[in-house]
Amino acid sequence: MPDPAKPATTPAPTSREYVLGTNPVELERLGFQHRLWSQAAHALWFRAGIAPGQSVLDIGCGPGFASLDLAQIVGPKGHVVGIDESEPYIAFANDQARKRHLPQAKFAVADAAQIHTLDDLQAGAFDIAYVRWVLCFVPDPAAVVAAIARHLKPGGRLCIQDYFRYETMCVAPRSEAFERVIAAIAKSWRDHGGDPDIMGRLPRLALDAGLSIDHISRIEIATARPGSTMWNWPDTFWKVFLPRLEELGYITEADHRAFLEVWQARSADPAAYMHLPPMYEVIARK
């Protein structure tokens, strides 16, 4: 709950504001996060039948880390369109496409549910659409899934990777101070229109948009242990998001401090590990 006693250090967020923010440190974190999860992303794209010459839509592409991999896979005869509501992310992605000589990758600013307003984006034009860690943040995921479905060719595939039961994330051995902050993170997402359980609803939304389901699976990844690369995934997230969570009033300074004390202790404990937030993937076909 926002703490009324705490002075407001940031403007009050609107329910439409993207809760994680889009600052340069978050941009860097997204790059690191993409590296950690790129094996799962590539496995899903290949399962969906990605191939040279195809056209791919990356919705909520952020700074374009996945889109640029996709552009290399589809090659110069294919094309990739990345859409995000963040202007700085889209500027970064277009700049990277130019520097990396990938003219087949193009990026545009738009709301994910409003992609039909983009002049260059034709309905029924895409072989593959990819959406990772976006539908858990949007207030109307049904509208986004329906908008994407309209832009797929007949036979085109929608590939989604997102969270289910995010709030089960915990550290082992368990800690009440740690779990209080995880609950506050999830509440902040919900208050901004998101759903940290989104994957539980997405197969139904895909069916409602006229798609059929080819594949649903939990994504297995390495267990995060102190000192491992995967341990750095939540570690980078705390650094970016917990100060913001405190500014927004979802945790107190004392909550924040208690959390970091637990995290520091577990980070030095060779018997500790993290139960990471479960990630699922879906391939739906038009």
Ligand X SMILES: C[S@@+](CC[C@H](N)C(=O)[O-])C[C@H]1O[C@@H](n2cnc3c(N)ncnc32)[C@H](O)[C@@H]1O
Least distance to ligand X, CB of residue 30, Å = 5
CB of 107 to ligand X, least distance (A): 11
Angle (CA) 235-238-240 rounded to 5° is 110
CB-CB contact of 126 with 152 (8 Å): yes
Contact 161, 121 (CB under 8 A): no
Q: Which of 112, 139, 284, 157 minimizes the C-alpha distance to 198?
A: 139
Give the nearer residue to ligand X in terms of CB position, either 138 or 242: 138
- Give the nearer residue to ligand X in terms of CB position, either 34 or 266: 34
Residue with smaller CB distance to ligand X, 30 or 258? 30
Of 131 and 262, which CB lies nearer to ligand X in the complex structure?
A: 131
Minimal distance, residue 241 CB to ligand X, in Å: 11
Least Å distance, CB 181 to ligand X, is 18
- Return the number of the residue (67 or 175) whose C-beta is nearest ligand X: 67
Q: Measured from the CB atom, is 70 or 272 closer to ligand X?
A: 70
Residue nearest to ligand X (CB): 62
**Number of separate helices (H) and strands (E) present in the chain:** 8, 9
> Can you name the residues that pair with 107 across neighbouring β-strands?
82
CB of 89 to ligand X, least distance (A): 5
Q: How far is the CB of 160 from ligand X (least distance, A)?
A: 11
Question: What's the DSSP call for residue 224?
Answer: B
Per-residue b or e along 41-66, where b marks 16 or more CB atoms closer than 10 Å to that residue's CB: beebbeebebeeebbbbbbbbbbbbb
Residues of the shown chain interacting with ligand X in the complex, contacts defined by CB under 6 A: 18, 20, 22, 30, 34, 60-62, 65-66, 84-86, 89, 111-112, 132-134, 137-138
Q: With contact defined as beta carbons under 8 Å apart, do 281 and 44 qualify?
A: yes
